[in-house]
Structure 1
């Protein structure tokens, strides 16, 4: 007889791991115990040598579907002669907490069957779950993951739920959120004043949606604003009340079958839609006739998700399609507290479907699309957070604060990078408060006390100001270097690479705004080998929301005062005071220089008459890409001046676009031509840098690479030329992935901390 002590680390709490160990021990006739603690799962098993070996092998190979083992350590213990195997009460050790927390998991097929089975005691119950599904991150307050550490602590299980919880053969054995209609949380339907409405809350909600109302629905990670996606009036009312003029709205479809009627769905896209994370997936539309045009106006794509919480399975039929957008007003974080919802969403929602289980941690829906048959993350949150990203290097405990827009922070521990949930725009005071609270929660949850902080060089970023106030050594990281490093971290690269960083704007080391950058970089340093030509941003930040400003500057530079005689839509749409903005730019007043690729796409959209003023970030570039869909353009002229750094100048392309419009070319054809021209210029720059350095590994990152048309063209052209091309997969290419890059750069510089 032997007795072994075993410690298992990884995602092993809240995923049915202790019941799994219990069943294994019984199967191999072993005695002992198992419990949760702050580091993972701890156990002692006693029995014959052969049985212990078989147990350990099964422990590695037969893990529960939601578990992810990071490490198993063994130690010899003294034989104690136990006569059975038991699950012990969890302990909260004084040692550092290293256990990992499972993300929230979509309702499993078995629980969905219970909800739909009229003979089951959980028929229609909107909080049904088991060890294989349900809320995790959004209900946990602290570890170890036990009921008293979650927002289920206030709900005492009835005798039937207790029997399930205590029965090893039951799939709800030690399922911490276990509940039923007798003992668990309940939904209520309220009007705007907070008064409860009579009747069945779920049935009434369904009827109110069908009647054209807008409802605020409390889910797992916060509130959604929902309406019938087929009702044009309801959709337009939601847009007006939410102050969301044009940006597409996400929808939830009741079944995969109805999604297939709306959109093209590849095998890779189906796998994402039906995965445990159940993110929003961007899909190409087949038709717009089945839903209101206002859901995704003038857009070829639709953001779609399938039901992931029991309440969604209860509310939606297989043929329903509902708008399901974040419960907030523009730029604010998602609402997750009931009183806050009634106050902040009262001018948007007609009614409120609320429940009495508190949400510990809010989580917005994640957004992905498929590129090259593989997932391509655009927003990382519910279903993925707080699982760490594994990197190839041991890092000191540090905090990377991220950027200003689409913010997410990062905390590190060993080879693990804990990227926080999607936070949003830190210029909003409520979002900034949420940001600081989330950092403190992650520090506590994972027992990480940072020894240094990494930040963006932009002095006006709220995240940068926050970082510089912390009593820690500081390491500043250049914006585009961080973009490239984030991809390197995902792929385990540290040798020099050619980095193509295209985005809106990021603070450069020369004090100008960068955004069309070609770097040679590793994880410690970079050199700027090329960039797009500097141009002024007339009006500063106004040039970002009013693309006509840069278009006017470009056309005036090309044609002087005769630009008004060109006869193209752009010059006809200029505001009356446009010349004042140009005169200010001539004098360098509020007109910073920028090499931004994002602004070049805005300029092309404005010259083509596609978009002069935007209502959401990147709208002009998005609509330019949509105009180019399915069209093969021609290569336009551009200038490539070699040197160090080399310069790409697309002014000749803008001249060609203008002349094309005057000669009757369609704006769709010219939009496609602009994409092809930018791709060709980028590839030429990479080829030149490769000839100079011998480097053949290329990385593409930055918000502009949310443009699939451009990314595909550059990717294919470089691969055809035998380059190895790396892109994001698990973190966004936009600033949502910036903190990961900051973290790995700071870790590699840590030996010589920069104050």
Structure 2
């Protein structure tokens, strides 16, 4: 930008965005020194304030450099310029932070930078092998922050008084560690120890080496990371991995594996260019990639599927451990099923002593829990499965200044929350499934954290329409004692569509394919195979999948053969089914089939669902897979793996009648197939054809793909290929989760667009 001034002018620049804790003030200071400009820079609740004085040419260059050469971790959302009276100062200085109403954005945690890695490996450096090395360009942020502004006194580093050497770096504007709030060293920083749960002994002599020895001996260890504890073991030791699965009651759900280098990852995985970019990114997410046929890793890391979650070390502690081990490690979240990640060693002792005997820990408190992010690439684009460490909190700048404060509380599964105030929309990191008291307490704690960050009290609360969602119950209870707060209940799949629209700032009408596992529909049935014409103001359900009866309700979600049997009940008589010789039918006794048929006929404990996710379960069972599912989405991953083994371009027959997509003809044709891989391929081809067919009926509308089903890499690739051929404009989320992790974002976008 260019601003007209007289020969000498003083400007006040107010900079909004992620500009605290990212080296922004020393960057400003160095720019001012270079151009011999006078004034000052300081943090306040709004962001960064710069008062700068000099001639027009120098000020123009200064403002241009601010916008185009800012530090790598910063993000300027808005820059306001105001002309002030000159003070005729001759020096530029960094002054103490000033408190005001808080609107600056908290920064996500960042992985170890290359400069710190070099120092950590330098025998002549005073931080040689120091497990907490960091600088302005890396290290903890969100997870150690109690309140804003982001100053050491407001973090869990407040208890560690800096030594003289660290303070000299901290106060030097030309140092990489200038105002790096977690700065420390061996003299003044956190203390790393290894604890034995049984003997209650604590040892700080070579704790990393001790931990490595235990892992090499086949043990599982609890290790304290940035946002919580990992349970780690040797990923090449089948016995150790099996024992971890048994102890954690996690029979088949894939385990993430941390490697020392991308070279090691390439031994076990086929990587695209985008996969490599994501793995090497400073956020260091878990990246879901295609497995190679190799015996390097334990077989039970990711059984029955052709994918594996891989990532690189993101803390100096992980880096040091892997350097000693020279083998990859399983690094899975330390938690009990349906509970949040553990952040305190006392909880490890209390809840996870049946998994680990030893804890590698330290005394820097984790203030805000934050799990690992999970992503994958589709057609060289990013697709988020879980937005957390490195990416969250995720902030959006909104053009319209929101006059009211909006809180969207999200879904029950993969919960997140979103806050809207002023020009900011902030999506929290992944909270998780709210299936336990502990999980809901974590939801409330996270909400309290964000309210404290931003002095936030909502004027509007948005929740899901589902009457049994914990978030919905919480919202209704909250407004019962806050009569001045408006409550908005929003349909689940409409929120999915709006989340995509929020990411791309869409105001236009779209055709949204909302395919997922479940969501409460306007007709009190469970939706999940919806085609909506949607705008930020309204939606219309124009097509949907034929309903499936879920025999036994929640049992049907865990036992896909019940869904498969329900599909047969829709197509055949009881007598015809009883004589069938398919594995699905033979997996039930005659009496079980008769009982389930009675439930189906009388609609007893058999809710109706239009869910494409449940259709996946049914096709999984019809193709001969009768095992119970070990985790959500397993049937989809197995179908995806099988589909890749078939070159079939054909699809099954489906009929659209009265805006309902019937699957009956497909069931008949599946039962005639002899190959399960062909069933899988033709099923995905059928879903692709449905999407393309219905999109063709609305040529004037851009298409939105949203919901957990679109985590299926093969399906998305097929649809995008067809859309490119037909020149159909398509949106799918790239910087936020396509699953329920973005429901709160869609809810917030609706309120933002309808509350001005």
TM-score by length of 2: 0.95
Q: Aligned pair 1:295/2:308, yes or no?
A: no
Match of 1:601 in 2: 616
Does the 8 A contact of 1:215 with 1:353 survive in 2? yes
Structure 1 residues 611, 742: CA separation in 2 closer, same or farther (over 3 Å shift)? Answer: farther
1:501 to 508, 511, 514: 514
Match of 1:344 in 2: 351
**1:597-636 alignment runs, 5 A limit:** 597-633=612-648, 635-636=650-651
Q: Aligned pair 1:316/2:322, yes or no?
A: yes
1:672 to 668, 681, 695: 681
Structure 1 residues 46, 287: CA separation in 2 closer, same or farther (over 3 Å shift)? Answer: same
**1:150-189 alignment runs, 5 A limit:** 150-189=155-194
**1:13-32 alignment runs, 5 A limit:** 13-32=20-39
1:43 deviates by 2.6
1:516 deviates by 0.7
**1:208-607 alignment runs, 5 A limit:** 208-317=214-323, 319-391=326-398, 393-395=400-402, 396-471=404-479, 472-560=485-573, 561-574=575-588, 577-607=592-622
Does the 8 A contact of 1:23 with 1:168 survive in 2? yes
Structure 1 residues 641, 32: CA separation in 2 closer, same or farther (over 3 Å shift)? Answer: closer
Does the 8 A contact of 2:500 with 2:733 survive in 1? yes
Does the 8 A contact of 2:418 with 2:427 survive in 1? yes
Match of 1:729 in 2: 734
1:108 to 104, 110, 113: 113
Per-residue CA distance 1:71-120 (angstroms, 9 max, x = gap): 22233334334443222121222xx2111111111111010011111111
**1:633-672 alignment runs, 5 A limit:** 633=648, 635-643=650-658, 646-660=659-673, 665-672=674-681
**Distance across 2 between alignment mates of 1:393 and 1:73:** 15
Structure 1 residues 683, 56: CA separation in 2 closer, same or farther (over 3 Å shift)? Answer: closer
Q: Which segment is superposed worse, 403-412 or 167-176?
A: 167-176
Match of 2:151 in 1: 146
Segments of structure 1 that go 5 or more residues without pairing to the other structure are none
2:692 to 683, 689, 697: 683
Does the 8 A contact of 2:378 with 2:716 survive in 1? no
Match of 1:8 in 2: 15
1:198 deviates by 6.0
**Distance across 2 between alignment mates of 1:390 and 1:83:** 36
1:124 to 125, 129, 136: 129
**Distance across 2 between alignment mates of 1:566 and 1:381:** 48
Per-residue CA distance 1:452-509 (angstroms, 9 max, x = gap): 1111111111011111122221111111111111111111212111111111111111
SS in 2 for 1:334: coil
1:187 deviates by 0.9
Does the 8 A contact of 2:645 with 2:677 survive in 1? no
Match of 2:482 in 1: none
**Distance across 1 between alignment mates of 2:300 and 2:547:** 38
**Distance across 2 between alignment mates of 1:426 and 1:381:** 16
**Distance across 2 between alignment mates of 1:226 and 1:581:** 43
1:287 deviates by 2.7
SS in 1 for 2:462: strand
**Distance across 1 between alignment mates of 2:86 and 2:680:** 75
SS in 2 for 1:606: helix
**Distance across 2 between alignment mates of 1:628 and 1:541:** 27
Per-residue CA distance 1:511-543 (angstroms, 9 max, x = gap): 111111111111111111111111211111211
Does the 8 A contact of 1:502 with 1:704 survive in 2? yes
Does the 8 A contact of 1:391 with 1:489 survive in 2? no
**Distance across 2 between alignment mates of 1:682 and 1:482:** 19
**Distance across 2 between alignment mates of 1:637 and 1:501:** 21
**1:63-78 alignment runs, 5 A limit:** 63-78=70-85
1:170 deviates by 1.8
Does the 8 A contact of 1:610 with 1:623 survive in 2? no
Does the 8 A contact of 2:30 with 2:173 survive in 1? yes
**Distance across 1 between alignment mates of 2:495 and 2:84:** 47
Q: Which segment is superposed worse, 341-350 or 627-636?
A: 627-636
Q: Aligned pair 1:92/2:105, yes or no?
A: no
**Distance across 2 between alignment mates of 1:500 and 1:558:** 26
SS in 1 for 2:124: coil
Q: Which segment is superposed worse, 226-235 or 411-420?
A: 411-420
Count residues in correspondence: 739
SS in 2 for 1:455: strand
Does the 8 A contact of 2:652 with 2:682 survive in 1? no
**Distance across 1 between alignment mates of 2:680 and 2:550:** 22
Per-residue CA distance 1:188-229 (angstroms, 9 max, x = gap): 000114421363101111111111110000011110010000
Q: Which segment is superposed worse, 217-226 or 260-269?
A: 260-269
**Distance across 1 between alignment mates of 2:329 and 2:64:** 47
**1:49-64 alignment runs, 5 A limit:** 49-64=56-71
RMSD value over aligned CA atoms?
A: 1.7
Segments of structure 2 that go 5 or more residues without pairing to the other structure are 1-7, 480-484
1:409 deviates by 1.1
Structure 1 residues 687, 452: CA separation in 2 closer, same or farther (over 3 Å shift)? Answer: same
Q: Which segment is superposed worse, 582-591 or 49-58?
A: 49-58
Does the 8 A contact of 2:15 with 2:47 survive in 1? yes
**Distance across 2 between alignment mates of 1:558 and 1:605:** 17
